[in-house]
Amino acid sequence: MTKPVNPVVIDDLHSWRGLLRCGGWSALASVTLIIIQVGIFATWPPVHTVREVFSLMNEAPVLGLISLDAIYIVNNLLVWLVYLGLGAALWPVSRSVVTLAVGLGTLQMAAYLGSNPAAEMLVLGREHAGADTERARILESAGEALLAAWKGTAFLTYYLLGAIVLLLLTWLLYHSNRFPRSATWWALAAGILMLVPSPFGTVGMVFALLSLLPWSVMCIVVGRRLLSLSSTSGTRASPTHLHQNSEAGP
C-alpha cells in the first residue's frame, strides 16, 4: 500500500501533471505493445538469414520491419517517457539519482536506436530484388554486416544500461511513499534479469523472456499510479495550507 501524500507534495506535483499522465499512459501502452509483439512472433517467427530478411522485406515489408523489432523501437520511446514520468514523481527522493537514471535511460535509448537496422535492411532488400548476381552478393554482404552489428556493442550497451536504470529506479521506488512497495520488487526483478543480455546464447534468451514478466507488471503498477498522481495533482493546495505547513517546520 502507498502512504498518503502530503498536500504540499501534491502541490509540488502540479507542475509535472502532464509528464505524469504521459508516463502513465506510456507504461500501459508499453505492455500492450509487448503483448502484440509476442503474439506476432508466435504467429510469424522472425527470420534470421540475410536472404530471408530481404525476401520478407519484398513480400511483406511491414512484417519484415516487425521481424527486425520495429515495434520495439516504438516501445523504447514509450519506455523513455515512462522514465521521465517516474523521474518527475521521484524527484523529491533524490535529484541526483533521478538525473542519473533519466540521463542513462536517454543514452540507453540512443544506443538502441543507433543499433537497429530495420530501415537499412528494407532499403537493401528492395534493391536486392532487382540486382544482378554481382550486385546482389555485395548487398548480401552489407546485410550481413548490419545484422552482425545489430547485436553488437551498441545493443549490449543498451541492454546493460537498461539494467542499471532499473536498479536505480528500484532504489528510488524503495525510498518513495508515492508508489506501492510491489513496484520496487518488480523493478528489481526486471533489473537483475537484464544483467544477462539476450545475445548471450540460450541463457541470455531465457533471461530476456523472463524479464518481460516483471517489467510488464511493474509498468502496470507504476502506470496506474502515475495516472492517479496526475489526477490528484490537479488541485493545488491552498496558500493558507502551504503557509501553515511551512511554519510547522521540517
**pTM score of the predicted model:** 0.84
- pLDDT of 248 above 60: no
- pLDDT of 9 above 80: no
| Buried-state track 89-124, b at ≥16 Cβ within 10 A, e below 16 | bbbebbeebbeebbebbeebbbbbeebbbbebbbeb
Q: Is 2 part of any domain?
A: no
Top pLDDT among 4 and 200 is at 200
Q: CA-to-CA distance for 99 and 84, rounded, in angstroms?
A: 10
Please provide the average confidence, as pLDDT, over all residues in the chain.
87
Backbone angles phi, psi at 198, to 5 degrees: -60, -30
Q: Is 194 part of any domain?
A: yes
Q: Is 248 part of any domain?
A: no
- pLDDT of 80 above 50: yes
Q: Is 249 part of any domain?
A: no
State how many domains the chain has. Answer: 1
Torsion of CA 30, 3, 93, 194, to 10 degrees: -40
Q: Is 72 part of any domain?
A: yes
pLDDT digits (tens, 9 = 90+) for 102-131: 999 999 999 999 889 999 999 999 998 888
Which pLDDT value is given to residue 233?
A: 63
Which pLDDT value is given to residue 220?
A: 97
pLDDT digits (tens, 9 = 90+) for 189-212: 999 999 998 888 889 889 999 999
Which pLDDT value is given to residue 114?
A: 87
Q: Is 250 part of any domain?
A: no
| 245 — pLDDT class (breaks 50, 70, 90) | very low
Which pLDDT value is given to residue 158?
A: 94
Judge whether 85 and 102 are in contact, CB under 8 Å. no
CB count in 10 Å sphere of residue 2 = 14
pLDDT digits (tens, 9 = 90+) for 17-54: 999 999 999 999 999 999 999 899 888 888 878 999 99
Q: Is 227 part of any domain?
A: yes
| 162 — pLDDT class (breaks 50, 70, 90) | very high
The residue range of the domain holding 46 is 7-243
